[in-house]
Amino acid sequence: MTKIGVFDSGYGGLTILNAIRRQLPQYDYLYLGDNARAPYGTRSFEVIYEYTLQAVQWLFSHGCRLVIIACNTASAKALRTIQMHDIDPSIQRVLGVIRPTVEAVPSITRNGHVGIVATPGTVASNSYPLELAKLATSLPLHISQQACPMWVPLIESGEFREAGADYFVHKYIDELLSQDALIDTLILGCTHYPLLKDKIDAALSGRAVRTIAQGDIVAHSLSDYLRRHADIAAALSTEGTCEYVTTESPDKFNSSATLFLQEPIAAHHIDW
Ligand code: DGL
């Protein structure tokens, strides 16, 4: 089997995998969650690069031909280096989630005021403002970023539905709005954050702000990529399977993953 690998530091990439499988159900998928080392978002560039490379190499050595880094932090800190130095592009491809999201922004915002919520690592990399600045847009863009260091831990620990999570949702949304009260588009620049979308929308209540999750954008971009790269699409097997591996305990992964997938799964543990 020649699979599509999907990688995240933890459970967040499942929001991307869900959307990809809805659009491209025919392919075979292998999901890797490095839950034992999540979150990545507060780690240094060197560590995020080392962990991401290890995961990408593991996926390539276990039957993947194409790997989606379904993590903004790893896309921001490691994707470019891996693409340039660590893979053989004649047989291996690695894609991230930031570029497709950035390309979708101009068609979503009406007034050009865009807010981005993300991990401290993604915000510090400045990847979103830098990539958005490269776009030729008719409307000038005003970009504000807000780091939300508590959101991934709340989600990874399963505490995100509790009332205590409201405090940290309001805190970061209020801080973002104090940077720019005119924001009409909020990009969830972390693949974990769709699980907080209801609370985020509640914190934005009364404002005409569209909250954008990345799943459908990334799925659409992958589908377009495969149309443009027929050789890679032809090399992928099409039995419609999906396997899950985690660096944590599979029992813990299985029970938490159902919050993201709404279906039972049976993950396997891996060691590097
Ligand atoms: N889902 C990852 C992202 O999109 C979370 C990173 C983390 O582990 O902190 O950035």
Catalytic residue (one of 64, 148, 190, 242): 190
CA distance 257 to 34: 13
Q: Is 191 in the pocket of ligand 1 (CB under 6 A)?
A: yes
Report the nearest atom of ligand 1 relative to the CA of 70: 4
152: CA distance to ligand 1 center in Å?
7
* In the chain, alpha helices (H): 13-23, 45-60, 72-74, 80-81, 98-108, 120-125, 127-133, 151-156, 163-179, 197-203, 215-228, 230-235, 250-261
What's the chain's average pLDDT?
95
Look-up of token digits 């989630």: 97
210: CA distance to ligand 1 center in Å?
21
234: CA distance to ligand 1 center in Å?
31
Look-up of token digits 């919050």: 259
The per-residue pLDDT for range 70-87, each reduced to its tens digit, is 999 999 999 999 999 999
Q: Is 119 in the pocket of ligand 1 (CB under 6 A)?
A: yes
Mean pLDDT of 221-250: 97
CA distance 95 to 166: 33
CA distance 236 to 28: 8
- The letter for the amino acid at 24 is L
Report the nearest atom of ligand 1 relative to the CA of 38: 8
The per-residue pLDDT for range 186-197, each reduced to its tens digit, is 999 999 999 999
120: CA distance to ligand 1 center in Å?
10
Task: Give the DSSP per-residue string, 196-214.
Answer: GHHHHHHHTTTS--EEE-S
Annotated active-site residue 71? The verdict is: yes
Q: Is 52 in the pocket of ligand 1 (CB under 6 A)?
A: no
Q: Is 73 in the pocket of ligand 1 (CB under 6 A)?
A: yes
Taking phi over 0 as left and psi of -120 to 50 as alpha, with beta for the rest, 144 belongs to beta
Helix axes of 215-228 and 13-23: crossing angle, nearest 10 degrees: 50
Annotated active-site residue 64? The verdict is: no
Q: Is 38 in the pocket of ligand 1 (CB under 6 A)?
A: yes
The per-residue pLDDT for range 130-145, each reduced to its tens digit, is 999 999 888 999 999 9
134: CA distance to ligand 1 center in Å?
24
Q: Is 16 in the pocket of ligand 1 (CB under 6 A)?
A: no
The per-residue pLDDT for range 146-166, each reduced to its tens digit, is 999 999 999 988 899 999 999
How far is CA 187 from each of CA 73, 95, 138, 190, rounded to the nearest angstrom? 14, 19, 20, 9
Question: Which residues are CB-contacts of 82 (< 8 A; sequence separation ≥ 6)?
Answer: 49, 52, 53, 56, 94
- pLDDT confidence of residue 138: 85
b/e sequence 97-125, b meaning 16+ C-beta within 10 Å = bbbbbbebbbeebeebbbbbbbbbbbbbb
Tokens of 70: 């379904």
